[in-house]
Amino acid sequence: MSQQNTPGQVQHAQPSVGSIAAHRPHTIAATVSDLAPDIDADLDSYDEDAQPGHNGEGLPQGRFLDRERSWLAFNERVLELAEDPHTPLLERANFLAIFASNLDEFFMVRVAGLKRRIATGVATRSASGLQPREVLELIWNRSRELMARHAACYQDDVAPGLADEGIQLVRWHELTDKEQSRLFTLFRQQIFPVLTPLAVDPAHPFPYISGLSLNLAVVVRNPVSGHQHFARVKVPPLLSRFLEASPQRYVPIEDVIAAPAHLQELFPGMEIQEHHMFRLTRNEDLEVEEDDAENLLQALEKELMRRRFGPPVRLEVEESIAPNVLSLLVRELKIGEAEVYPLPGPLDLTGLFSIAKLDRPELKYPKFVAGTHRDLAEVESASAPDIFAALRERDVLLHHPYDSFSTSVQAFLEQAAADPDVLAIKQTLYRTSGDSPIVDALIDAAESGKQVLVLVEIKARFDEQANIKWARKLEEAGCHVVYGIVGLKTHCKLSLVVRQEGDSLVRYSHVGTGNYHPKTARLYEDLGLLTSNAEVGADLSDLFNRLSGYSRRETFRRLLVAPKSLRDGLVARIEKEAQHHRAGRPAYVRVKVNSMVDEGVIDALYRASQAGVEVDVWVRGICALRPGVAGLSENIRVRSVLGRFLEHSRVFAFGNGGEPEVWIGSADMMHRNLDRRIEALVRVQDPAHRAALSRLLETGMSDTTASWHLGADGNWTRHSLDPEGQPLRNVQEMLIDARRRRRGTATP
């Protein structure tokens, strides 16, 4: 899917954090960064089973795009931002790291799951019509092309560009004698003591190679016997990926380890004949049979240990690797030749996350600091806003990161924890930061005698270990910690505060689209509704009772909740738009999601299009819907916006015959979200809030806004210049500027 810009097309859209693993200084083998995104929004363990009750009667075959191809196209859009010369240079390095981290997780989850299903004989033809083996070969071929582009972007463009700005990423042979001497001292003092060379011979079997670790394959010769030997040296994952040889000159740590004098330190008395870098990706997805797990925490901890030994799914090697060494690796690792990816060094460009953090503001996006939402503090001051007083006056619709998370959602929970009139706090936690003020507030509340219920989703992919840690910390503080319903992940973003006010109890609620994660709230675009509305409070009470007890309530007042009512509720509203259109009443469907894969929802959108309803889909990542097909989807447009912030909110808007209906919440249109998760959407009631969300959707879909457009053939085309060659509007910069104007600091 190469996208060449033609004179009528755009060249510059907003650069994007739009990734599964955005801003993740990522070594899964070691620790996961606090800036772990909502990975599950884009990746799911391999599952192509038909949906219960899904009926495509009357609709043509071939109407679904392949989701794996669509995901790779998404990551290509991230790569295009790295390739774009209009993107600030250190942001380009960041996008290269995001692309690499995304692809790591794609192989660990999707490719691994597909291979597992093929091996066990349970893989079936996908919704797109492709056989599993065809999908796998598509992935291998397309990812090979993208990885080659990725490496070329670094070698030929970004690294030279950084060098022109005084940030030099060099190899060992490019260092001066003084720099090499300095690094030799560093090697002896800080690196050598943690290295463990492992020999391979009849007495030493081939060592276990952990997933995503960088490794040196070293061939040495015994000068006495004349025999050659193979050894492996693992690059310690907890050390810095790039070492500063001198100010603003950085060398990969593997180059330092592989320097001739340093290898001689590791293998004294042996002749170093050759060395090569390689990196293995393994299946790192989890499988826990909850029905058989008496204690989910213990079962998950055991599975986390097993994750380290998942089967290999990809082998990256430096393209200069000797054929005999590569043959040995392929044989010992039991990996197919199609899964070997020769690349120019250095391997593992996720290490560029550290380079992107360098303090060079002129090479980054202009700094933006979110302010307090005007409904919470008309005039910002040193004193914190009284959240409860504000919510008694009106609902507050938050739009992060343009509205500060710390002075809204975080302040809401901190105020609740400190308020003696608050009796109870109920909270879901899917992902949060390692030093979370949210967790601290909940602990403070419990220690002050409040009833605190925390639903911790310990199966949040790649955050399992961190969430187990926080679950135990919360329990020790006296919080009631539960893990949801067996067989379902709890992905909804909910907070409920019960406060004594005079003779009555008032419930204050927050329903959001993003995690309670103060750090990612500065990088992810999300929405949230703060309200004292009694119906929403009653709904959250009922839902929390279902999550913590034995309630079987399935209908709510202002919520749609998966897995029971969410898909059916959305499909019913889509079908109702077709009825409105036939009757001549205002009708439209506008959707903003991370992923659009669910066949039942897509078919409902196809039928609405066939009835004449205009359908707009704003999707960040995967989209299996095929727009613009005559007789099927000619009334459907699909756009994607990637920018400095990760587009993460989910919005569903309906014309509803002239009485617009708008919902926000946690659910993407994927099988897992709608059938195997607790998800929640809340209906937005305030007319001004509905209008604001409608304007947001219209702006994102506008032809004057920079974006990617999806064609009927499944290819995405970038649009960022108008016919006169002028840049199209950048929706994220527009929103930033609107907030600055509100504070009197807008750019001229």
Sign of CA dihedral 688, 694, 700, 703: negative
The answer to whether 484 and 547 are in contact (CB under 8 A) is yes
Known binder of ligand: residue 431? yes
Decide the pairing of beta strands 677-684 and 559-562: antiparallel
The answer to whether 39 and 648 are in contact (CB under 8 A) is no
Q: To 10 degrees, the CA torsion angle through 746, 640, 363, 368? A: 30
Decide the pairing of beta strands 636-640 and 614-619: parallel
The answer to whether 1 and 73 are in contact (CB under 8 A) is yes
Structure tokens at 699: 């702006």
Q: Which helix (H) or strand (E) holds 708?
A: strand 707-710
The answer to whether 263 and 271 are in contact (CB under 8 A) is no
DSSP H helices, 334-436, are 352-356, 387-393, 409-418
Structure tokens at 508: 């204050």
- Taking the C-alpha atoms of residue 135 and residue 138, their distance in angstroms, rounded to an integer, is 5
Known binder of ligand: residue 507? no
Residue 26 is among the residues annotated as catalytic for this protein: no
CA atoms within 13 A on the CB side of 576: 15
- Taking the C-alpha atoms of residue 153 and residue 82, their distance in angstroms, rounded to an integer, is 8
The answer to whether 230 and 204 are in contact (CB under 8 A) is no
Closest CA to 650 of 604, 596, 597: 596
DSSP summary character for residue 489: E
Structure tokens at 309: 């030994």
Known binder of ligand: residue 508? no
Calculate Rg over the CA atoms of the chain.
27
Q: Which residues are within 8 A (CB) of 4 and not within 5 positions of it... i.e. 6 or more apart? A: none
CA atoms within 13 A on the CB side of 108: 28
Structure tokens at 340: 């070997």
Residue type, 425: I
- Taking the C-alpha atoms of residue 12 and residue 1, their distance in angstroms, rounded to an integer, is 18
Task: Give φ, ψ of 235 to 5 degrees.
Answer: -75, 120
Partners of 731 in the β-ladder: none
Query: Which runs of E-coded beta strand occur in 620-660?
Result: 636-640, 646-647, 650-654
The answer to whether 481 and 394 are in contact (CB under 8 A) is no
DSSP summary character for residue 174: G
DSSP summary character for residue 596: B
Known binder of ligand: residue 648? yes
- Taking the C-alpha atoms of residue 493 and residue 510, their distance in angstroms, rounded to an integer, is 8
Residue type, 183: L
Known binder of ligand: residue 524? yes
Q: From the centroid of its chain, how far is CA 150?
A: 19
Structure tokens at 320: 């200069």
Largest CA distance in the chain: 92
N-terminal to C-terminal alpha carbon distance within the chain: 38
Task: Give φ, ψ of 324 to 5 degrees.
Answer: -70, -35
Residue type, 194: V
The answer to whether 531 and 509 are in contact (CB under 8 A) is yes
Structure tokens at 444: 């403070």
Residue type, 192: F
Structure tokens at 588: 């439209």
Question: Per the residue annotation, which of 23, 373, 400, 491 is the catalytic one?
Answer: 491
Structure tokens at 542: 């009922």
Q: CA distances (Å), 472 to each of 242, 439, 466, 475, 496, in order?
A: 35, 11, 10, 5, 21
Known binder of ligand: residue 656? no
Provide the annotated binding site for Mg(2+).
431, 461
Catalytic residues: 491
Provide the annotated binding site for ATP.
102, 524, 620, 648
Provide the annotated binding site.
102, 431, 461, 524, 620, 648
